[in-house]
Amino acid sequence: MHEASASEAIVKMVAQEARSRSVPGDGSMRVSRISLVVGEATGYMRESLEFYVAASAKGTSVEGAALDIRYVKPLMHCPSCGSEYERVRFSFACPDCGAQGVLTKTGSEFYIDSIELTSRAEAAV
C-alpha cells in the first residue's frame, strides 16, 4: 500500500506533464521513461514501485514507460569527528571514532528527476 498511493501520484504528475506539452493533432505526447530519485530511508521498494506504476499507468499516456530508480544511501554525520558515512544496520555508530552519528537529509529523497516524452509522430518513425 505504501507504494500504491505514491505510484498513483507519480503517474498523475507525469501524465499531466505530457498533456501540457502535447500539441493538437499528431503532437500528443506519451511518457516513455520516468526517472526517480529515492532515498533508501523512505523505504520505497523498487519491485513495488515498478508494479504499482505499471498498474496505475494502464490506459494512460504513461502506459509502458520505463522506470529508472536511482537509490540514495542514507548518510550519517558524526558530530564528534565530522566524518560522513553510510549507516550499518542496527547501528548509528561512526566507523572512524565510534561516537553516535546523527541522520542527515541525504537518504530521504523522493522526487521525479526527469521524464522522457515521445510524440506520436516520433514513435511512428
Partner 1 sequence: MRVELKRAIYEENDALAREIHEDLSSRGIFTINVLGSPGAGKTSLITRIAECLGDKEKLSVIEGDVASDIDTRALRERGIEAYQIETGGDCHLNAPMIRAILGKMAIADGSWLFIENIGNLICPAEFVIGEDLKVVVASVAEGSDKPYKYPSVFARSAACVLTKVDLAIPVDFDEAFFRSGYESVAPNAPLFPVNARSGEGVEGFVSWLRSVRS
Which member of 22, 42, 48, 60 binds partner 1 (CB under 8 A)? 42
Nearest residue (CB) to partner 1, 59 versus 89: 89
Q: Judge whether 75 and 109 are in contact, CB under 8 Å.
A: no
Cβ at position 51, least distance to partner 1 in Å: 16
What character string, x for contact with partner 1 (CB under 8 A) and - otherwise, covers 84-103? -----xxxx-------xxxx
Residue by residue, DSSP assigns 63-99 as TT-EEEEEEE--EEE-TTT--EEEPPTT--B-TTT-P
Cβ at position 97, least distance to partner 1 in Å: 14
Is residue 114 part of the contact set for partner 1 (CB under 8 A)? yes
Is residue 69 part of the contact set for partner 1 (CB under 8 A)? no
Distance of CA 117 to CAs 43, 44, 45, 82, 97, Å? 28, 25, 25, 43, 49
